[in-house]
Structure 1
Amino acid sequence: MVPDLNRVPGVLGRIARRRLERVAAGGRRTHGPPAGRPPSFAEALAAPGLSVIAEVKRKSPSEGAIADLDAAEVARAYARAGARAVSVLTEPEFFAGSDADLEAARAAVELPLLRKDFVVHPVQVDEARALGASAVLLIVAVLGPLTGAYLEAARTAGLDALVEVHDEREAELALEAGAEILGVNNRDLTTLRVDLGTAPRVARHVRALGFDGLLVAESGYRAREELAALEGRFDAVLIGSSLARDPDPEAALRRLIGSA
């Protein structure tokens, strides 16, 4: 159940192929059985108002180095500021993340955790559960027709899945696969360009098709006004770089959501 990654273009394809090389080479840790059921990612996003998924992020292909941060410390800061979930990058080469970051965040906070990675092999789903994640990221542009199979693998593991799309065609594939949490990424992962008009446009499309699940806007959000435009249209927003690079991520998140 490995996707055909040769069809995936640009930076996204390069990252996904490298990730598969590491998994195939055994570049992963052996994990013991998970301890208890993690908090529900879906329930956190379904709470009233716009839920913030705040991200632990050290670097990215589009921005280079972002912050030399401590995952546990930043996760606690996000929790204090009112984040309803935390996204933790675990991809090591392009994002400088690690499984240890996810484990540290799990020990630090009781919020649901999203394992933010490039899932290209079923073993990564089981790893996410063992590490204490509540959800995995499934990218339609990577998984293609296997999206439904990976969704089922996540459900079997007791995980929610944030199914990420970039346009209307991918969104339709996600809906056909049975996605219940749909993330619309404003960043074109082949060119790395950001267009904040992407998420609202795709959201209108899927709602018109009858999608009644949870909608998450992703990438590029830096100002309170941008978040205000999402309220009533999206259930959640994922914010990474603008929070992680701030010397005081707690204050940065409070400014964004308008909390005291």
Structure 2
Amino acid sequence: MKIPKAKFLETILAQKRQEVAQMPAEKPQKVRQTYKLYDFLKQHENQLQIIAEVKKASPSLGDINLDVDITVQAKTYEKAGAAMISVLTDPVFFKGDIAYLREISEKVKIPTLNKDFIIDQKQIDRAINAGATVILLIVACFENDFAGLKKLYTYAIQQGLEVLVETHNKAELDLAHALGAKIIGVNNRNLKTFEVSLQNSLDLVKDFQAENVYISESGIFGTQEAERVAPYFNAILVGTALMQAKNVEKMLTQLKTKRQCEKKC
């Protein structure tokens, strides 16, 4: 489903509230065992790590790869050395499904991220039971509701999950730091204007904190973009480029560029 640019986040959140209202509550089981993403990124700071995404479609691009075998794609990511696999579970706008997360999490040993617009505890419990070890919380989804963001963040951590907190600007980055987030993403796509620019990531590096790890998300299609953010970011999240690649393993390997850090890695 394509959305008017000015209404992107607003439209998705309205749909998501309806979805959550109809979602049955689940009792969360134990989080699937794998390594901690934060620890992995800290231990491998000399190389840009890849969070590889399974994404069939998006509101901006429409259909990307509807015929993909999601488990084959995920296992290829793992074989090529991805640090984590991100799985889109939004059914309306990204043609995802919670079943995709479950299928992939059963087939791989590395961390899996539930990539969705999470606004309710029910989604977190569902993510755990589907095999996720990391969830996404987008600061922009909690405008003027820091308490709501903190409540979900705290709950997820208490359950044993890791949380990727996504930001888009300095104000949101400050909130992520205030939250105590250890894994912080900078999305190069502004969810309100829909524009994509790597400069969005680069503009925020001066405000990074040494104890955290940072992930640059969106707008990365090859080694040129990867090398541009590598000095400042521990990892990049790549979806469309890998979903459309003729040789997925080769492309992922090429993206794992050495980091020539501006500061000590």
Pick closer, same or farther for the CA change 1:34–1:98 going to 2, 3 Å: farther
Q: CA deviation at 1:29?
A: 7.8
Unpaired stretches in structure 2, ≥5 consecutive residues: 1-5, 259-265
State the partner residue of 1:174.
Answer: 176
Whether the 8 Å contact between 1:56 and 1:86 is mirrored in structure 2 is yes
Whether the 8 Å contact between 1:91 and 1:97 is mirrored in structure 2 is yes
Q: Does 1:100 align with 2:99?
A: yes
Task: Say which is worse superposed, 100-109 or 225-234, in terms of deviation.
Answer: 225-234
Partners of 2:54 and 2:93 lie apart in 1 by 14
TM-score w.r.t. the length of structure 2 is: 0.87
User: Could you give the per-residue CA deviations for residues 6-40 of structure 1, whole angstroms, max 9, x where no partner exists?
Assistant: xxx720121122111011023x5857734653432
Pick closer, same or farther for the CA change 1:257–1:156 going to 2, 3 Å: same
Whether the 8 Å contact between 1:188 and 1:194 is mirrored in structure 2 is yes
Whether the 8 Å contact between 2:89 and 2:98 is mirrored in structure 1 is yes
Task: Give the secondary structure class of the aligned counterpart of 1:62.
Answer: coil
Q: CA deviation at 1:202?
A: 1.3
Instruction: Indicate the percent of aligned positions where both proteins have the same amino acid.
Output: 33
Q: Does 1:20 align with 2:22?
A: no
TM-score w.r.t. the length of structure 1 is: 0.88
User: Could you give the per-residue CA deviations for residues 74-103 of structure 1, whole angstroms, max 9, x where no partner exists?
Assistant: 111111111111100011110011111111
Partners of 2:35 and 2:75 lie apart in 1 by 16
State the partner residue of 2:189.
Answer: 187
Partners of 2:199 and 2:31 lie apart in 1 by 41
Whether the 8 Å contact between 1:180 and 1:213 is mirrored in structure 2 is yes
Task: Give the secondary structure class of the aligned counterpart of 1:176.
Answer: helix
Whether the 8 Å contact between 2:215 and 2:234 is mirrored in structure 1 is yes
Unpaired stretches in structure 1, ≥5 consecutive residues: 1-8
Task: Give the secondary structure class of the aligned counterpart of 1:229.
Answer: helix
Letter in 2 for 1:65: D
State the partner residue of 1:159.
Answer: 161
Letter in 1 for 2:244: R
Partners of 1:176 and 1:29 lie apart in 2 by 30
Whether the 8 Å contact between 2:31 and 2:133 is mirrored in structure 1 is no
Q: Does 1:121 align with 2:88?
A: no
State the partner residue of 1:142.
Answer: 141
Q: CA deviation at 1:203?
A: 2.2
* RMSD, aligned α-carbons: 1.9
State the partner residue of 1:257.
Answer: 256
Q: CA deviation at 1:148?
A: 1.5
Whether the 8 Å contact between 2:170 and 2:204 is mirrored in structure 1 is yes
State the partner residue of 1:37.
Answer: 33
Partners of 2:27 and 2:226 lie apart in 1 by 38
Partners of 2:125 and 2:22 lie apart in 1 by 17
Letter in 1 for 2:39: E
User: Could you give the per-residue CA deviations for residues 56-84 of structure 1, whole angstroms, max 9, x where no partner exists?
Assistant: 00000111000021221111111111111
Please identify runs of 4+ aligned residues in structure 1 that moved more than 4 A.
28-32
Letter in 1 for 2:113: L
User: Could you give the per-residue CA deviations for residues 161-208 of structure 1, whole angstroms, max 9, x where no partner exists?
Assistant: 00001000111111112111110000011222101100111122x22x
State the partner residue of 1:200.
Answer: 202
User: Could you give the per-residue CA deviations for residues 196-221 of structure 1, whole angstroms, max 9, x where no partner exists?
Assistant: 100111122x22xx453111100000
State the partner residue of 1:130.
Answer: 129
Task: Say which is worse superposed, 33-42 or 244-253, in terms of deviation.
Answer: 33-42
Task: Give the secondary structure class of the aligned counterpart of 2:177.
Answer: helix
Whether the 8 Å contact between 1:55 and 1:238 is mirrored in structure 2 is yes
